[in-house]
């Protein structure tokens, strides 16, 4: 189903021609697979933001429409959600002529950041209501790991942000444990880099909801609205890149 969106540059889904397979030399050269995703957009000179797990595209589409001066790339692993979101953006374009600053990629976002994205090109990484993988044997599948935070730090521009929201208490505790490492001196050791100042590679910053969300909402996603109706509690964090 997703292949219907794998078209020429300028449409919604990122095609195989735009993101070819990793080269064999990736085993000895970690830079061999880098490709600049800004080139996938009509206006590549604009700032780039990436949403990991874009789901049905509610946040991505709403944010892109209200911020046409920024390019938004949604990365979704679930094929049915990727196809739904891409078709949703396509239909909006046909109806209104926009937004043209949204692309969708069907991929594992953690692998995409690690092997594909060049350093220092992303303004914001959005991670909202990620799968909590509650069973201990599945914790290795959680998105936020030390490796992931190192890749986010590398790909963010100086002062760029990782923005996170969850409704899951155990996952929030997992986040906090890792965020504490990466906002302190230990984070530089994990990067294999000399320390800069007295803090870590990230600093905590206030999480500010977009202006367009409804009162009391954080990001206005389908998950948030569903969970809010169930009376769940939400936690949010913003990590800002230091140095680099």
CA gap 13, 235 in Å, rounded: 31
Long-range contacts of residues 211-216, Cβ cutoff 8 Å, at least 24 apart? 211/66, 212/62, 212/63, 212/66
Beta strands 71-76 and 102-106: pairing type? parallel
Is position 6 annotated as part of the catalytic site? no
Q: Of the candidates 164, 172, 59, 51, which has an alpha carbon nearest to the alpha carbon of residue 113? A: 51
Tokens representing residue 208 in the block: 């500010």
Collapsed DSSP state (helix, strand, coil) of residue 196: coil
Find the catalytic residue in 131, 146, 151, 169.
131
Segment (H or E) for 150: helix 146-155
Q: How far apart are CA 192 and CA 129, in angstroms?
A: 30
User: Are the CB atoms for 72 and 60 separated by under 8 Å?
Assistant: yes
Alpha carbons 57 and 87: distance in angstroms, whole number: 10
- Annotated active-site positions, please? 131
């Amino acid at each position: 189903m997703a292949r219907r969106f794998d078209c020429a540059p300028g449409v919604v889904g990122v095609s195989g021609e735009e993101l070819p397979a990793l080269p064999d030399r990736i085993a000895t050269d970690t830079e061999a697979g880098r490709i600049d995703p800004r080139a996938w957009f009509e206006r590549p000179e604009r700032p780039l933001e990436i949403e990991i797990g874009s789901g049905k595209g509610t946040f991505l589409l709403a944010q892109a429409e209200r911020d046409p001066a920024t390019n938004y790339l949604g990365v979704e692993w679930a094929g049915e959600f990727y196809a739904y979101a891409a078709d949703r953006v396509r239909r909006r374009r046909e109806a209104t002529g926009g937004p043209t600053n949204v692309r969708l990629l069907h991929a594992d976002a953690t692998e995409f950041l690690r092997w594909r994205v060049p350093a220092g090109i992303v303004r914001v990484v959005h991670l909202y209501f990620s799968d909590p993988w509650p069973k201990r044997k599945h914790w290795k599948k959680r998105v936020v790991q030390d490796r992931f935070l190192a890749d986010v730090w590398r790909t963010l521009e100086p002062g760029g942000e990782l923005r996170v929201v969850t409704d899951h208490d155990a996952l929030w505790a997992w986040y906090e444990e890792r965020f504490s490492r990466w906002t302190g001196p230990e984070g530089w050791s994990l990067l294999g880099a000399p320390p800069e100042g007295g803090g870590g590679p990230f600093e905590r910053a206030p999480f500010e909801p977009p202006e367009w969300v409804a009162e009391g909402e954080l990001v206005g996603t389908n998950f948030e609205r569903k969970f809010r109706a169930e009376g769940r509690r939400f936690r949010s964090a913003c990590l800002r890149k230091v140095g680099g």
